[in-house]
Amino acid sequence: MNKKILVIPGDGIGPEVTTWGKAVLEKIAEVYGHDFSFQEALMGHVAIEATGNPLPDETLAKAQQSDAILFGAVGHAKYDNDPAAKVRPEQGLLKIRKELGLYANLRPILLFDELLDASSIKPSILKGTDILFFRELTGDVYFGEKKRSEDGNTASDLMIYERYEIERIAHKAFEAAMTRNKRLCSVDKANVLESSRLWRETVQQVSKNYPEVETEHMFIDNAAMQLIKDPKRFDVVLTANLFGDILTDEASQIAGSMGMLASASVGDGTGFFEPIHGSAHDIAGKDLANPLASILSVALMLDISFGLKAESQLIIDVIKKVLAEGFRTNDIADGSTNPYKVLGTQDMGKLILKFIDQQS
């Protein structure tokens, strides 16, 4: 199979982890006889430094011409601590999501049994959890009008949804539920927010097309609690942009670490694959980042964008094997008394390549 893949490493640990996502793609191509060609492009702080623009036109053009995109992360401490900065790395990510029409962000909470004790939640509560989040990605308070009064003392972000935006992601989430355990929980704040009342009304309408799916509606505050109390009760979770952002960082603790959660953003065109984590300034440049979220994002790319299910499954099997043999990065090596073999980013990446060779 011939595919053109754009790699956007970004900032902080982005390049450190994306190196290994790309290396896994190269290894899969070698093992299965595919022809993957790669291009690179700038986004985020590195793009601002080079061009003044967090999403240069050239990056967007390359993205539109590619078959899939592997992204790392954007963000820099300089901007996090400077609320007045007008040009910001994250704007690049938001713009590319909008321009490519990536309205559905799939965030699977894939829990490896080997990592049950890496979580701060009891293994008995966690075991058997398998959740697929559908986070709406191109609407909500992220993209509504932003205002600041002239005197600077009043600010607002408009939380806004249109019916069609809710309908299209709801259909995707229900279709996924049909292939899984046929349970869907839609999360909103319809007891307070008008945009959530439109959300709930629309999801209720769409659910009529999927009578086999058991649909429930839950308020975001309760959902945040239930996720920790009894994560197994969830199958597909459908929610808006901001709620989904927050709930999935919370849900990463079910899988053991932010360094384990991959995502696929899909919609109108080219699929976009990225870990859910950010540029992690606290560990950047220290060979501490867990590359598995990027490698799992590659597994999602192979499956969703290229339909290469065996290749995708091989990556998941290899990760399981590596974990079963006791290899860990620092973030998933629980405490000081464990018997794990703790590896840096690079050694974990190399080990995954070696195991792919052995498995195939």
Q: What are phi and psi of 347, to 5 degrees?
A: -70, -35
Structure tokens at 69: 């995109």
Give the Cα separation of 150 and 158 in Å (integer): 18
Our finding on whether 278 is near ligand NAD (CB under 6 A) is yes
Question: Is 249 part of any known ligand binding site?
Answer: yes
Could you say which residues in the range 3-62 bind ligand NAD, by CB under 6 A?
13, 17
Could you say which residues in the range 330-359 bind ligand IPM, by CB under 6 A?
none
Strands 236-239 and 183-188: parallel
307: left (phi over 0), alpha (psi -120 to 50) or beta: left
Our finding on whether 245 is near Mn ion (CB under 5 A) is yes
For residues 258 and 322, which CB has a smaller minimum distance to ligand IPM in the complex?
258
Active site residue 130: no
Active site residue 245: yes
Task: Find out whether 298 and 291 touch, Cβ atoms under 8 Å.
Answer: no
3-state class (DSSP) for residue 336 = coil
Which residue in 282, 325, 338, 354 binds ligand NAD (CB under 6 A)? 282
Task: Find out whether 89 and 26 touch, Cβ atoms under 8 Å.
Answer: no
Task: Find out whether 276 and 220 touch, Cβ atoms under 8 Å.
Answer: no
Which residue in 75, 139, 231, 271 binds ligand NAD (CB under 6 A)? 75
**Which one of 48-56, 276-284, 309-317, 350-358 is the stretch in contact with ligand NAD (CB under 6 A)?**
276-284
Question: Is 97 part of any known ligand binding site?
Answer: yes
Pick the catalytic residue from 79, 103, 142, 161: 142
Please state, as a whole number, how many other Cβ atoms lie within 10 Å of the Cβ of residue 171: 14
For residues 90 and 165, which CB has a smaller minimum distance to ligand IPM in the complex?
90
Which residue in 54, 256, 259, 349 binds ligand NAD (CB under 6 A)? 259
Cα–Cα distances in angstroms (integers) from residue 60 to residues 17, 39, 64, 313, in the given order:
22, 12, 6, 30
Give the Cα separation of 135 and 108 in Å (integer): 11
Task: Find out whether 54 and 88 touch, Cβ atoms under 8 Å.
Answer: yes
Could you say which residues in the range 43-102 bind ligand IPM, by CB under 6 A?
90, 93-94
Our finding on whether 80 is near Mn ion (CB under 5 A) is no
Q: By rule CB under 6 A, what string of x and - marks binding of each residue 240-259 to ligand IPM?
A: -----x--------------
Output the furthest CA–CA distance in the chain (Å, rounded).
64
Give the Cα separation of 136 and 71 in Å (integer): 18
Active site residue 232: no
**Which one of 60-68, 146-154, 193-201, 281-289 is the stretch in contact with ligand NAD (CB under 6 A)?**
281-289
Pick the catalytic residue from 82, 113, 221, 230: 221
User: In terms of Cα–Cα distance, which of 12, 157, 147 is closest to 78?
Assistant: 12
Our finding on whether 74 is near ligand NAD (CB under 6 A) is yes
Our finding on whether 91 is near ligand NAD (CB under 6 A) is no
Active site residues: 142, 189, 221, 245, 249
Q: Which residues of the chain form contacts with ligand NAD (CB under 6 A)?
A: 13, 17, 73-75, 80, 90, 93, 257-259, 274, 277-283, 289-290, 293, 331
Binding site residue list: 97, 107, 135, 221, 245, 249
Binding site residue list for substrate: 97, 107, 135, 221
